[in-house]
Amino acid sequence: MPTWIIIVIIIFSLLTLFVVLSYLKLKKATNDTGSFNLLHLSDSDFQKTISKGVTLVDFWADWCMPCKLLGPTISNLADNNADKAKVAKLNIETYQKIAAINGISSIPTVVVFKNGKEVERSVSVKPKHYYQSMIDKALNK
């Protein structure tokens, strides 16, 4: 067997191993990195939490891989904005009624509320600065 074929097989095997290990690591990841400033909303406190000031809400589900990718970003935003805005998560599997009322059809969906009214929405994973700009815009309105 030619040397180049052996090299291609080795490279392909290493790439496959990398992909599998990355997937397994992500599958075990949690959606919450333990921020003390991150709020976990429910049916009973959702409306009260968003009713005053600026609140960014991450609508997510435990089985959603992109949601797991977004988790550390949301926790970081909660810590960075603790003095000016609330950052929260709502599990759409557990609280389906709130998700339906807010028209959540894809996840992750991040919605910014100001004084109880939706001011901006984003679907899918975006970089941290994108979500920070959503918060900043709402604070400056």
Write out pLDDT tens, residues 71-118: 999 999 999 999 999 999 999 999 999 999 999 999 999 999 999 999
Q: pLDDT band at 138, cuts 50/70/90?
A: very high
Choose the weakest-confidence range: 8-17, 37-46, 88-97, 110-119.
8-17
The pLDDT assigned to 45 comes to 95
- The string of DSSP codes covering the chain is --HHHHHHHHHHHHHHHHHHHHHHHHHH--S----TTEEE--TTTHHHHHTSSEEEEEEE-TT-HHHHHHHHHHHHHHHHTTTT-EEEEEETTT-HHHHHHTT--SSSEEEEEETTEEEEEEES---HHHHHHHHHHHHT-
The pLDDT assigned to 35 comes to 81
Cα-to-chain-centroid distance, residue 127: 10
Neighbour tally for 110: CB within 10 Å: 26
Catalytic residues: 64, 67
Residues recorded for the chain: 141
Mean pLDDT, residues 50-78 taken together: 94
Q: pLDDT band at 10, cuts 50/70/90?
A: confident
The pLDDT assigned to 29 comes to 56
The pLDDT assigned to 32 comes to 62
The answer to whether residues 114 and 141 touch, using CB atoms and an 8 Å cutoff, is: yes
Q: Taking 60 as the threshold, does the pLDDT of residue 40 lie above it?
A: yes
Round to whole Å and give the CA distance between 109 and 121. Answer: 7
Give the CB-side neighbour count of residue 16, counting CA atoms within 13 A: 6
The pair of structure tokens assigned to 101 is: 């009322």
Please state, for a pLDDT cut of 90, what percent of the chain lies above it.
71
